[in-house]
Structures are given as C-alpha cells and as structure tokens.
C-alpha cells in the first residue's frame, strides 16, 4: 500500500520547530525522481576554504532559483539554474504541503558513505530571520544528526528515508546545528533537495 501525506511527526526538541513527513512522496515517485535528477542535474564539485586551506567538498551540489540571486556559504558563491521538469514538480508538491513559496533549491548528491555534510546551521543572511528549510530525501537512507549550539546534553539522531520531507522552521537554525555524517558502510547514492526562501 502506498501512503501519501499521511504521517506527520513532530520532532519535539527545545528551541526548534521540526516536522518530519516520512512518506511525503510514494516510493515509486521518489525512485522516479531519484533517477531523473541524477541524470539531468548539472552536478558540480566545489572547493571549500577552511582556515585558508582548500578542499573539494565531500559531495556534489547544484543550485536552482526563481531569480538571479546568488547563494554563498563557506566561501562558495553559487549561481542558480532555472527550475524545470521534475524539479519544478517536486517544488510544487513541497509548496502545497508547506503552504510556502520557495525561491531556491540547493541539491546535494552523496555518492557513497564517504560523502557527507559537516556540522552547520542554515543561517546565511540571505535566508532572513527564522528561515524555513524544506528538505526532501531520495535514495539511500542516511543518518541526520542535530546538536544544540549551547546545551551539550541536547542532541538527536534520525534517519532520513527515501521520499521523506523534513521541515525546519522557527528558531531551529539559531539554536541547532545539523550534519549528515560519513559512514564506513557500502551504501548507495542519495539525493537531497533543500528548498529555501532567499529574500
Ligand atoms: O542532506 C541533507 O539531508 C542535509 C543537507 C543540508 O543540511 C544542507 O544542504 O544545508
Ligand atoms: Fe543544512
């Protein structure tokens, strides 16, 4: 049986507003999108500077946007491509369920367990105060870790499933960091789409 839009899980953590929809997309649709996006997105690998040294980012990325506005983080400036096809379809489904119009989507392709996304908050100033981030997962399940910025006792681990949507809103980015850790397991690839509003 395919479930759609059914389950809505509140991740009850202090100083945050996080909702998880495990079956945002049907398995069939999610698999279709995974393959289409893998082949059609102009994936790039940027270098990041950390304390004056440069490293290739441990994943591939792409930026899509409604406007020409660039998005910058970790010394990378990304220029947006135009939304179309499957990506536009997913954007519309995300907008329906979140009742939010998004301007921008940052895509991540994690090729295997060595690819990752280090501890960070999505708090770039282009995103404004209390940004809403809608994060769609396709393909390989990966662990998602959350850690409170000032209270070391507050941490949380969850799995982001194929076809799921994770919504982070309110004060979440002010108080929490998140990451996708590496894993030594032999795993398949995963695509993540984070929809954002750039003001
Ligand atoms: O891959 C994910 O689920 C997280 C991606 C992320 O945190 C980001 O792109 O800012
Ligand atoms: Fe993030």
Average pLDDT across the chain, whole number: 94
Q: Of 20, 49, 54, which Cα lies nearest the Cα of 6?
A: 20
* Ligand 1 shell residues, CB under 6 Å: 106, 108, 117, 122, 135, 144, 160, 178, 180, 192, 194
* Chain centre distance of CA 195: 7
Taking phi over 0 as left and psi of -120 to 50 as alpha, with beta for the rest, 36 belongs to alpha
HSE, side-chain direction, 13 A CA sphere, residue 127 = 24
Q: Which pLDDT score, from 0 to 100, does residue 38 have?
A: 98
Measured CA to CA in angstroms, residue 37 lies from 13, 34, 63, 76, 116 at distances of: 33, 5, 13, 22, 19
The set of residues, in sequence order, having a beta carbon less than 8 Å from that of 14 and lying 6+ positions away, is: 148, 151, 154, 175
Point out the ligand 1 atom lying closest to the alpha carbon of residue 137.
3
Which whole number is the average pLDDT over 74-93? 93
Q: Of all residues in the chain, what percent carry a pLDDT higher than 90?
A: 84
Q: Is domain 9-196 given the CATH code 2.60.120.590 in the classification? A: yes
Measured CA to CA in angstroms, residue 46 lies from 73, 172, 192 at distances of: 11, 27, 17
Q: Which pLDDT score, from 0 to 100, does residue 1 have?
A: 45
The reported pTM is 0.95
Q: Which pLDDT score, from 0 to 100, does residue 5 have?
A: 53
pLDDT of 61 strictly over 90? yes
Q: Which of 48, 107, 180, 193 maximizes ligand 1 atoms within 8 Å of its Cβ, making it the mutation to test the pocket?
A: 180
d(CA 128, CA 9): 26
pLDDT band with cut points at 50, 70 and 90 for residue 48:
confident
149-188 confidence digits (pLDDT tens): 999 999 999 999 999 999 999 999 999 999 999 999 999 9
Which whole number is the average pLDDT over 3-28? 91
Q: Which pLDDT score, from 0 to 100, does residue 4 have?
A: 53
130-144 confidence digits (pLDDT tens): 999 999 999 999 999
Domain spans of the chain, in order of start: 9-196
Beta bridge partners, 60, equal: 109
103-157 confidence digits (pLDDT tens): 999 999 999 999 999 999 999 999 999 999 999 999 999 999 999 999 999 999 9
pLDDT of 49 strictly over 90? no
Ligand 1, atom 1: nearest CA belongs to which residue? 192
């Amino acid at each position: 049986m395919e479930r759609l839009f059914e389950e809505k899980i509140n991740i009850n953590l202090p100083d945050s507003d996080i909702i998880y929809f495990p079956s945002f997309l049907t398995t069939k649709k999610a698999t279709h999108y995974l393959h289409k996006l893998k082949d059609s997105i102009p994936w790039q690998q940027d270098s990041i500077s950390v304390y004056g040294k440069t490293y290739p980012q441990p994943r591939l990325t792409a930026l899509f946007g409604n406007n020409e506005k660039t998005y910058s983080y970790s010394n990378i400036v990304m220029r947006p491509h135009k939304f179309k096809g499957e990506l536009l379809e997913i954007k519309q489904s995300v907008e329906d369920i979140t009742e939010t119009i998004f301007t921008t989507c940052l895509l991540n392709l994690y090729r295997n367990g060595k690819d990752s996304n280090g501890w960070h908050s999505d708090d770039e100033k282009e995103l404004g105060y209390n940004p809403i981030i809608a994060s769609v997962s396709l393909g390989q399940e990966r662990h998602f870790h959350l850690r409170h910025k000032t209270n070391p006792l507050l941490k949380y681990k969850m799995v982001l499933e194929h076809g799921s949507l994770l919504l982070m809103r309110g004060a979440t980015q002010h108080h929490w960091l998140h990451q996708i850790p590496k894993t030594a397991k032999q795993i398949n690839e995963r695509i993540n789409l984070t929809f954002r509003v750039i003001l």
